[in-house]
Amino acid sequence: MTTQTVVITPSTEMSSSASIDYIASLLPTAVINHLATTAGVTRTVSTSSNGNTHTIVTTWSDDTDKETFKTLMADVSSGVISTLESEGWAISFTPLTADL
């Protein structure tokens, strides 16, 4: 199993679900479709919040699905991060998606 932790702090007060929805709106359809088909099957997600900082922990139980996600995100991650940071968000990944 592989676990990735993402910590996000939106530039304005926002719930964790609204934050995740906004980030999802920046992702290509292929990524959204892959996430939808793996949810609760080979990928589990938990979220927690501390004020306006939200922590999302994703655990992949299937290496093939994880690798598909990693491939789909290869040309996407830096653009999404750049967009969020330009809007005043803070975001960090442990490990980076490229290193999953």
The rounded radius of gyration (Å) of the Cα atoms in the chain is: 13
* pLDDT at 99 (0 to 100): 87
Using one digit for the tens of pLDDT, what is the confidence trace for 35-75? Answer: 999 988 999 999 999 999 999 999 999 999 999 999 999 98
Using one digit for the tens of pLDDT, what is the confidence trace for 75-86? Answer: 888 899 999 999
Helices (H), 44-100: 63-73, 77-86
- Edge-to-edge strand order for the sheet containing 90-94? 43-50, 53-60, 2-9, 90-94
This prediction has a pTM of 0.89
Question: Which of 1-5, 18-22, 73-77, 81-85 has the least mean pLDDT?
Answer: 73-77
What is the distance of C-alpha 84 from the center of its chain? 12
CA distances from 86 to 33, 68, 81, 90, 95 (A): 26, 28, 8, 10, 22
